[in-house]
Amino acid sequence: MIKSITGTKDILPEDIQRWNFLESIVEKVFASFNYKEIRTPVFEETALFARGIGEATDIVGKEMYTFIDRSETSITLKPEMTASVVRAFVEHSLGTKQPLNKLFYISPMFRQERPQAGRFRQFHQFGAEAIGSNSPLLDAEMIQMAFDIFKLLGLKDVSVKINSLGVPESREKYKELLRNYLFDKKDNLSEDSRMRFEKNILRIFDSKIECDREIMKNAPLLIDYLDEESKNDFEIVKEALTRGNIPFEIDPKLVRGLDYYTKTTFEIVSEKVGSQSALCGGGRYDLLIEQLGGKPTPGVGFAAGIERILLACENEKAFSIPESSIDLYITRLDKELEKFVYDIASYFRRENFIVEIDYLDRSVKAQMREANKLGSRYVLFAGGEEFQNGLLNLKNMADGIQKTFDKNNLEEIKNYLKK
């Protein structure tokens, strides 16, 4: 038997209503903040992600689905959306059409990692990007939108974490400080963290290893060494969140794994989804557009993982989807009535009723069982003496009461059903 590729999942009819519900809320919230949807191709030239996300990141280093196509071009299935959105922004000169572009997306992403709870090789994200303003109110807006979406879904057990990475100059100065702090303690760090010391020193803060944590406990924090501008912006973000009644905590150790972040970064996490607890993450990327060949333009955005959010919703019983049901099931007695039943079903379907009939030539009893299983409000019977006499019986499945109608006057039945 051929099975789906490792780390990919079918979304079956029994699951799809949860997805549709989530997507409808996402679209509603983004619309209320005046974000416009953008769709980009699922694959891009590999160089876009290598340059946009950063060569040194894990995503680029070991997680991308990259292949050479028939024209010898290196192609990569998108592992995240920001680089693609920025590419489209630059390619279509969106910045010249209006100074601020507010964009959102809902899209599959691809990363070749070992699957585990809340992690897949094809997964789905929704997210937003606001390109063209350095206002920290937009940073707050991102968090606000994500938080609103979670709230509308009924999620309660989530927490917002924010941090500021400052601008590159202040960050470099701080990194020097951190290097000095760690220099004589280096040998006591874990092997991974010694690697990070060379490659990306900030990420030593991410380590879950006890000896690293012990050492980092007294390390200087970036947030205490921010430049004035970053510090002010961070204050504005915090104040806006407070006014918006969004509880948050400052996490000076929140260092995100993508290279393009500047100033504000944030995550919203849930304890209800296993060890992959980040439901959404984002931040400001004021240098990325330039780096990808555009004019210097500030930007900020976030991405949220749909599978993880649905998992959190399930574990929290955040919302429930009502059982689906149909309006009318039309049964028949004899096979000769098949075409008649098909035609009157078409009539009611055109009148916007949800209608089902039997295609398996089953007994009336089996048809009734089916109607019941489908939660049909009414059943219309075709067959036997009444039919010979030009009549149809309509049964209300809730109370079992039957009414008789003229089979040539479907409009009368329609009007009755509409009540």
Partner RNA sequence: GUGAGCGUAGCUCAGUUGGUUAGAGCACCAGGUUGUGGCCCUGGGGGUCGUGGGUUCAAUUCCCAUCGCUCACCCCA
Q: Which of 39, 369, 403, 418 binds RNA (CB under 7 A)?
A: 369
DSSP code string of 327-377 = SEEEEESSGGGHHHHHHHHHHHHHTT--EEE-SS---HHHHHHHHHHTT-S
What separation in angstroms does the CA of 220 have from each of 59, 179, 213? Answer: 28, 10, 13
Nearer to RNA among residue 114 and residue 243 (C-beta): 114
**90 and 289 in contact (C-beta within 8 Å)?**
yes
Smallest gap from Cβ 195 to RNA, in A, equals: 9
Picking from 162, 374, 123, the residue whose alpha carbon sits closest to that of residue 281 is 162
| Region of residue 324 (phi > 0: left; psi between -120 and 50: alpha; otherwise: beta) | beta
Rounded CA-CA distance 305/125 in Å is 5
Q: Which of 18, 51, 119, 272 binds RNA (CB under 7 A)?
A: 119
Nearer Cβ to RNA, position 236 or 374? 374
Contact 281, 269 (CB under 8 A): no
230 binds RNA (CB under 7 A): no
Binder of RNA out of 30, 285, 381, 405 (CB under 7 A): 381
Among 20, 188, 232, 372, binds RNA (CB under 7 A): 372
In the complex, least distance from residue 384 CB atom to RNA, rounded to whole angstroms: 2
Segment interacting with RNA, rule: CB under 7 A, options 114-122, 221-229, 318-326, 408-416: 114-122
Produce one character per residue of 290-320: b if its CB has 16 or more CB atoms within 10 Å, e if not.
ebbebeebbbbbbbbbbbbbbbbbeebebee
d(CA 387, CA 404): 11
The count of chain residues that interact with RNA, using the rule CB under 7 A, is 68
Q: Which residues contact 383 (CB under 8 A, 6 or more apart)?
A: 331, 332, 333, 334, 337, 364
Residue from the set 278, 326, 337, 354 that interacts with RNA by CB under 7 A: 278
Decide if residue 408 touches RNA (CB under 7 A). no
Question: Which span sits near RNA by CB under 7 A: 95-103, 147-155, 285-293, 356-364?
Answer: 356-364
CB of 93 to RNA, least distance (A): 27
In this structure, the strands spanning 355-357 and 328-332 are parallel
Among 18, 78, 111, 253, binds RNA (CB under 7 A): 111
Please list every residue from 166 through 205 that binds RNA, using CB under 7 A: 192, 196, 203
Q: Which is nearer to RNA, 63 or 338 (CB)?
A: 63
* Identified binder of RNA from the candidate list 68, 211, 321, 366, rule CB under 7 A: 366
Q: Please give the Cα distance from 162 to 253 (Å, whole number).
A: 10
Q: Judged by CB under 7 A, which stretch of 26-34, 169-177, 339-347, 355-363 contacts RNA?
A: 355-363
In angstroms, rounded to a whole number, what is the distance separating the alpha carbons of residues 171 and 341? 73
In this chain, which stretch among 174-182, 273-281, 314-322, 343-351 interacts with RNA, using CB under 7 A? Answer: 273-281
Binding mask 301-320 for RNA (x = CB under 7 A): --xxx-xx------------
Quick one: 105 exposed, middle or buried, by C-beta within 10 A (0-12, 13-18, 19+)?
Answer: buried
Question: Does 287 contact RNA by CB under 7 A?
Answer: no
Q: Is 325 in the site for RNA (CB under 7 A)?
A: no
Q: Report the residue number, 178 or 227, with the smaller CB distance to RNA.
A: 178
Among 243, 323, 400, 419, binds RNA (CB under 7 A): 400
Identity of the residue, 227 or 301, whose beta carbon is nearer to RNA in the bound complex: 301
Q: Which residues pair with 130 in a beta bridge?
A: 102, 300
Please, what is the Cα angle at 411 between 406 and 416, to 5 degrees? 85
Closest to 165 in 3D by CA, of 208, 229, 219, 214: 229
Angle subtended at Cα 71 by Cα 68 and Cα 77, rounded to the nearest 5 degrees: 40
Closest to RNA by CB, 74 vs 389, is 389
- Which residues form the interface with RNA (CB under 7 A)? 3, 6-7, 57-59, 63, 80, 111, 113-120, 123, 125, 192, 196, 203, 206-209, 256-258, 267, 274-281, 303-305, 307-308, 333, 360, 362-366, 368-373, 379, 381, 383-386, 393, 395, 397-398, 400, 402
